Amino acid sequence: MRVVAILRDDDYRFGLESPVGDPSKTRIKDLAAVEKSLGGPVPLSFRAFHLAMGTVDLSPDPDAVSSTTFQKLEWLDPLQVAPISVTRDLAAKEVTRTKKAWVEALRLPPDLFFAMSPDRKGRHDSEEDEPYMLEAFDRGADGLVRQGSREPVPFVDYLRATLANGGFAKLDEHERAAEVRERLAKGRILF
């Protein structure tokens, strides 16, 4: 919420009216539906995020023009964790799409998308444009986050690293990275 307030104070225009959403009233039912589709439990850290936090989307309004300190942040991989209802629908769709290809004896659940990516990522022009995914078949307490063939990282580590950069995973690529990080981290409580 502090990062959102700092961005708003600097006239950063979010793509959504509310970039941080409360947990869904149907979150328990939606999590159960995801697990039913996938044939097993989602990682505990992912479950806890949705039960306690809900959703985050720091992506900007694509039509906004900004000359503020925070311009160009949309290209620096804003934190986005989709509502669990979106994940529920993606998981069901993926299971339906791949079910015919599974060999029953070797059946593995599909990857589970945990975050929606900025529009530019939908094109898949490069590996960096691919969406983030949480491995559904990783039954550990902290699922692994993947983006393309990059080295996977635990979900909580991904959140920590992204929040250390003020909610933008690739903040170091900003021309004024140190200044922006200092402003976004102002008063932040580390976890």
Predicted model pTM: 0.78
* Straight-line distance from the first to the last Cα atom of the chain, in angstroms, rounded to the nearest whole number: 14
Tokens representing 106 are: 């070797």
CB 114 within 8 A of CB 156: no
CA 28 to chain centre: 19
Q: In this predicted structure, what is the pLDDT of residue 116?
A: 43
How many structural domains is the chain composed of? 1
Q: In this predicted structure, what is the pLDDT of residue 29?
A: 94
pLDDT digits (tens, 9 = 90+) for 93-140: 777 766 655 555 455 555 555 544 444 444 445 555 677 777 766 557
How many angstroms separate the CA atoms of 116 and 82, rounded?
5
Is residue 179 domain-resident?
Answer: yes
Is residue 190 domain-resident?
Answer: no
DSSP 19-52: SEEPPPTTHHHHHHHHHHHHTSPPPHHHHHHHHH
Is residue 128 domain-resident?
Answer: yes
CA 41 to chain centre: 19
How many angstroms separate the CA atoms of 77 and 36, rounded?
31
Full domain range(s) for residue 153: 2-185
Tokens representing 88 are: 């529920």
Return the amino acid letter for 42: V
How many angstroms separate the CA atoms of 155 and 82, rounded?
14
Q: In this predicted structure, what is the pLDDT of residue 28?
A: 93
Taking all residues of the chain, what is their mean pLDDT, rounded to a whole number? 76
Q: What CATH number is given to the structural domain containing 10?
A: 3.40.1580
Is residue 191 domain-resident?
Answer: no
Higher pLDDT, 121 or 176: 176
pLDDT digits (tens, 9 = 90+) for 15-62: 888 888 888 889 999 999 988 887 778 888 888 988 988 888 888 887
